[in-house]
Amino acid sequence: MPTVKIDAQLSKENLLQAAQQLSPTELEQFAQEVIALKAQQTYPSLSQDETQLLLKINQGLPPATQQRYQYLIEQREAETLTESEYRELLELTEVAEAQQAQRLQDLAQLAQLRQTSLSALVEQLGIQPNSL
């Protein structure tokens, strides 16, 4: 289990300082746990299925992958992308699109569990259309 050094008082700033000491993977796991905690506080009666779906819905690309993807997009826009970078961008685009497709499936499943429409759920969760 990873450990971090923190002061005795746990202010928001202390928690952020502690989070800065985590590796990218540990930070991603911690962020997912914080999202689950927020969901439990917002909806204390969430079922295990709803909690798992919310975790999956809020999961993004790993930070290093997201940074590389963004870099390649910037290179493409600047028209400085090499052939190998272009192939890598295509691969990462497929990964990102597959993840978004899975996210939509998870949202649809959560909407079904909650017996609501997908559009109502997206509004309820505060998801921006361009983030789908």
pLDDT score at 65: 94
Q: Rounded distance, CA 49 to CA 42, Å? A: 16
The region of weakest confidence among 39-43, 52-56, 59-63, 118-122 is 39-43
Give 44's pLDDT tier (boundaries 50, 70, 90).
low
User: Which of 124, 114, 123 has the alpha carbon at shortest distance from 47?
Assistant: 114
Q: Model's pTM, two decimal places? A: 0.63
The region of weakest confidence among 37-51, 53-67, 117-131 is 37-51
Helical ranges in the chain per DSSP H: 12-20, 24-42, 48-57, 63-77, 83-113, 118-125
Higher local confidence (pLDDT), 29 or 1: 29
User: Which of 107, 11, 8 has the alpha carbon at shortest distance from 59?
Assistant: 107
Taking the CA of residue 42 as centre, how many other CA atoms within 13 Å lie in the half-sphere pointing to its CB?
Answer: 12
pLDDT score at 58: 86
